[in-house]
Amino acid sequence: DSGVTQTPKHLITATGQRVTLRCSPRSGDLSVYWYQQSLDQGLQFLIQYYNGEERAKGNILERFSAQQFPDLHSELNLSSLELGDSALYFCASSVVVTGGTEAFFGQGTRLTVV
């Protein structure tokens, strides 16, 4: 158990809909990262938040947005869903701001868009 909690584990929704994925980082970790893992593209970094503020952005679509709340949990909002958005979405957290450290990943949310 990494200490990072993601809900829900599975989500099935229709095209055009909007969903919210939730992540609770490890206790004390200020940084939260979101990744998308699809079959044909591996793990893709989407966005990072640190202590409530956006810190880094990756290949995140404009239809997607995220935020980190004062209690440090984070939500990833996916809207106008398309079939190609079907993927595993992982959240990770770490505590160190500068330099390198390991990121702890949650179990992921499997999103299926039908």
Partner 1 sequence: GESVGLHLPTLSVQEGDNSIINCAYSNSASDYFIWYKQESGKGPQFIIDIRSNMDKRQGQRVTVLLNKTVKHLSLQIAATQPGDSAVYFCAEAPYGTYKYIFGTGTRLKVLA
Binding site for partner 1 (CB under 8 A): 2, 4, 31, 33, 35, 37, 39-40, 42-45, 48, 55-56, 58, 88, 90, 92, 94, 98-108, 110
CB-facing half-sphere around the CA of 29: CA atoms within 13 A: 27
CA distance 12 to 101: 34
CB of 77 to partner 1, least distance (A): 20
Would you say 18 or 54 has its CB closer to partner 1? Answer: 54
Are 39 and 111 in contact by the 8 Å Cβ rule? The answer is no
| Residues in contact with 57: Cβ distance below 8 Å, sequence separation at least 6, in sequence order | 46, 47, 48
Which residue lies nearer to partner 1 by CB, 45 or 79?
45
* Cα 46 to Cα 23: distance, rounded to the nearest angstrom: 14
Comparing CB distances to partner 1, the nearer of 79 and 104 is 104
In whole angstroms, the minimum distance from the beta carbon of 68 to partner 1 comes to: 14
Q: How far is the CB of 34 from partner 1 (least distance, A)?
A: 11
Give the shortest CB-48-to-partner 1 separation in angstroms.
Answer: 6
For residue 22, give the DSSP letter: E
Task: Establish whether the linkage from the previous residue to 25 is cis, with ω within 30° of 0.
Answer: no
| CB of 20 or CB of 45, closer to partner 1 | 45
